Amino acid sequence: MSNIGAIICAILAGGSTALEAFVNGELGKNTTALTATFISLVVGVLFFLISILVTGDLKSLMNISDINPKLLIGGVLGGLVIYFTVKSVPTLGVSNTLTLIVVSQMLIGLLIDGIILGQGSMHLYKYIGAILLVIGTFFILN
């Protein structure tokens, strides 16, 4: 994928996250957070199963036994994102919830890049950026 394609995908992921937080927050007002999370995940499973069937990618789904089982934790983490968002939005609102989500994603992403993936050392600018993120979060939330 080209850089522009990756940038477009990242922007679409951000927009989807914002819309998902709003919709799931509303869903949680009509049910419980746990039920809203379950409904959201089931609808997602059905959507992607249909997408796999339509695109003819069923063969890759059948190769699931080749996947390292510890990598399946991503599904649990995705569910936890939905659950914690549903719990947060009614109290904090969509923008404050998303601010905290994005900032925590950025800070953990920096740690993953630097420590787990070993993608170079942390440059001074990244430390300054992280500090500004935290300061900005303080101002947005207050």
Amino acid at 118: G
Q: What is the pLDDT of residue 118?
A: 79
Q: Look up the pTM and report it.
A: 0.83
CA distances from 113 to 105, 106, 110, 137 (A): 12, 10, 5, 22
Phi, psi of 105 (to 5 degrees): -60, -45
How many other β-carbons are positioned within 10 Å of the β-carbon of residue 40? 21
Tens-level pLDDT at each residue, the chain (142 residues): 888 999 998 889 989 999 999 999 999 999 999 999 999 999 999 999 999 999 988 888 888 888 888 988 999 999 999 999 999 999 999 999 999 999 999 899 888 888 888 776 778 888 899 999 999 999 999 9
89 within 8 A of 25, measured Cβ to Cβ: yes
70 Cβ contact list (under 8 Å, min separation 6): none
53 within 8 A of 112, measured Cβ to Cβ: no
